[in-house]
Amino acid sequence: MNRTRPAGRHDQRGPAAAAAAALTRARARQHKPHYWFADRLLAVLSGRRPVHWMLGHTVGEAYEQLIHLAPGAPLCPADRLAPVVRHCGEFHPGPGVIEAFARIGWGERVTAMAFRLEQGPDLRWRCAAVELGGSPVAPTDPDPRG
């Protein structure tokens, strides 16, 4: 019996193995503080969770920033597609500090979120600042420069 894969498929593994690999990657990223916080910040800024859900996970101005940003649910798209963290990167400017960015997407739209994490004396990470990118863009949007 000659086995073939679907046209355009380059992965030599079967669909079950590919799904298992994706699940393993998803579980591994939850152990990284910047991904953990990106998911939770997205839940608040998309209106799925209340702001006070982040109260014990913020320090300094971060909670005030969330109070200011969250009421408009800026990451809750009008078409009600659920936004997801597509990628989250990190930079370590010093010990106990992570400056992170996340690409948030829903459908073909993408926007950005940046945040700073600081590790306290108890070794717990807390969000110290959060910023959102401008309006989400779609790849088919015309160039605003004309």
- pTM for this model (two decimals): 0.73
Would you state the pLDDT for residue 136?
54
Cα angle value 50/53/54 (rounded, 5°) = 115
pLDDT tens-digit series, residues 72-123: 888 887 777 889 999 999 999 999 999 999 999 988 889 999 999 999 999 9
What are 10's two structure tokens? 């380059």
Would you state the pLDDT for residue 72?
82
